[in-house]
A and B are shown apart, each in its own frame.
Chain A
Amino acid sequence: MTEEREHPIENLAAHALGALEASERMHIDDHVAACATCASLLEQYRAVAGTLPLGLDPVPPPVEAWAAIRAEAARRRPLRAERVGTTRRPGWRRVTWPVLTALAASLLAWNVVLQFELTHRPPGPEVEALARRPGRLVILAGTGAPGASGRLLVAIDGHHGHLATAGLTPLGTERTYQLWFVRPDAPPASGGTFRVDTHGRAWATVTVPISLDEARLIGVTEEPAPGSAELTGKYVLEAKTWR
């Protein structure tokens, strides 16, 4: 096996430019997570890509843009305080303590599972960064398999993520699970395929092909291996809201 085949060098530059198809991105992300050499090279390419806008003729932003950003930031500040429990709103009073307790217990249990998975992954920048600061979290509930659930952790760049699932039925070699992002008036976009272990668990690096803000539903279906170009199966996991 040649060096080129061992390390996906040919695609690292394109990855830094955001110019790979979803399946190629996933392959690179998997490799980079465990390869310090390629991770270092990819970061250099990313740094170069980050300087490209400096080569453009600068255009001043509209003067009203800052006011809009400041207003939105101010609007979100109390919301964030509310989320961590420093501010009460009437809606909380309608939630009973048993529900809150159950939610807290399930989150605690999930974090234990997540940390276990993280510690059993090969070290790499993606996993290390994820362990420190996950970006957005999507909680997927089982719709076809009782007790099945999933967590999609989307990095701050909005295009990379890690999917952890539990409770899914292990599949034969001719079938696979596939993650989908559904938006209005467009075909579902694939985030990649994954398999589960004999305990029904999976930990996969996935691609987020569209903005989460544009998605109306995120789901997992069972599809023919190695994955479908179009969604054909029924959802076994799905989420319709996320933060």
Chain B
Amino acid sequence: MPDPLQRVRSVGSSDRLEPSDTELLHRMQLREEQGLELLYARYGGLVFTLALRIVGDRELAREVLQDTFIRCWDGSESFDAGRGRVPWWLMGIARNRAVDLLRSRPHQARLREREQLAAGASEAAQPDATDARAMRHAVINALQGLPGAQRQAIELAYYGGLSQTEIARELDTPLGTIKSRTREAMDRLRVLLWPLIEPQGEASDGRD
């Protein structure tokens, strides 16, 4: 099968011809496989990257990837545009599934895998589209602008699948401090990233 990522990039040379994400979901509700294929082409890489970052194992990450898109295929009508955009919804499904898997494994093994992955992840980097690259830089810059302790709290929660209580225990830090760090970090990210996401983000890429 041709690489779906490659196919969409060639289509993407004329952005106005690209169907929006919500249009793809609509096609999926009509059981049109092409809707699923294009959505996968658009976000399969990101879902896999997220899953791999969380579970630290390519086989498990592939399981999360497949499960995410099958759930999307089965439940595309459950997407609620009033609660956000399609990629956030997809990432939420993927992240929850990955954390479910993560929590079924010994904690120490999880930490080891995360360390191994952090050491080797950059080797697999691939080029991506211009818009995504710009957004990626914005996210990276925003994260790098956080104090280390705040960034750590965010990463342990989102990628580590740990609750606030577990993070406090892991870092031997008062729970109230962890809550404050998390909120302050997310507020800073929100101030920096929200203007890029909404409403300009929708207007510029036209995907939702």
CB within 8 Å of B: which residues of A?
Answer: 9-14, 16-21, 43-63, 65-70, 72-74, 76-77, 80, 125, 128-129, 132-136, 155-159, 210-211, 214
Contacts and interface: CB of A to CB of B under 8 A. Distances in A.
Contact of A48 (B37, B95, B180, B186): B186
B44 A61 contact: yes
Contacts of A76: 70, 73-74
- Main secondary structure, interface of A, reads helix
Given A47-B88, A53-B49, A62-B58, A19 B162 contact: yes
Contacts of B49: 53, 56-59
Contacts of A67: 1
Interface string B19-55: 0000000000001010011001000111111101100
A46 B84 contact: yes
A65 B97 CA distance: 16
Contact of A156 (B3, B50, B93, B95): B93
B33 A73 contact: yes
Contacts of B8: none
Contacts of A9: 183
B197 A47 contact: yes
Nearest to B128: A58
A157 B48 contact: no
9 nearest A-B residue pairs (beta carbon): A50-B88, A13-B186, A19-B157, A61-B48, A156-B78, A53-B50, A55-B139, A17-B157, A211-B100
Contact of A47 (B95, B183, B198): B198
A19 B46 CA distance: 21
A48 B189 contact: yes
B93 A18 contact: no
Interface of B: 1, 3-5, 31, 33, 36-37, 40, 44-50, 52-53, 58, 61-62, 65-66, 69-71, 73-75, 77-80, 82-85, 87-89, 91-93, 95-97, 99-100, 104, 121-122, 124-126, 128, 132, 135-136, 139-140, 142-143, 154, 157-158, 161-165, 167, 179-180, 182-183, 185-187, 189-190, 193-194, 197-198
Contact of B96 (A59, A63, A70, A158): A158
18 contacts: A9-B183, A13-B183, A16-B186, A47-B84, A49-B158, A51-B88, A55-B140, A59-B121, A60-B126, A61-B47, A68-B66, A76-B70, A76-B74, A125-B80, A129-B80, A135-B78, A156-B93, A211-B97
A103 to B, nearest CB: 22
Contacts of B82: 125, 128-129
A19 B70 contact: no
Contact of A70 (B33, B65, B77): B33
A48 B143 CA distance: 11
Nearest to B91: A50
A52 B70 contact: no
A19 B165 CA distance: 8
Contacts of B36: 69-70, 73
A9 B187 CA distance: 11
A18 B166 CA distance: 12
Given A67-B1, A132-B80, A133-B77, A51 B48 contact: no
A58 B165 contact: no
Contact of B62 (A62, A73, A210): A62
Given A19-B157, A44-B194, A59-B52, 15 more contacts: A17-B157, A47-B198, A58-B46, A65-B65, A66-B37, A67-B1, A69-B73, A73-B36, A76-B70, A129-B82, A157-B93, A159-B96, A210-B100, A211-B97, A214-B104
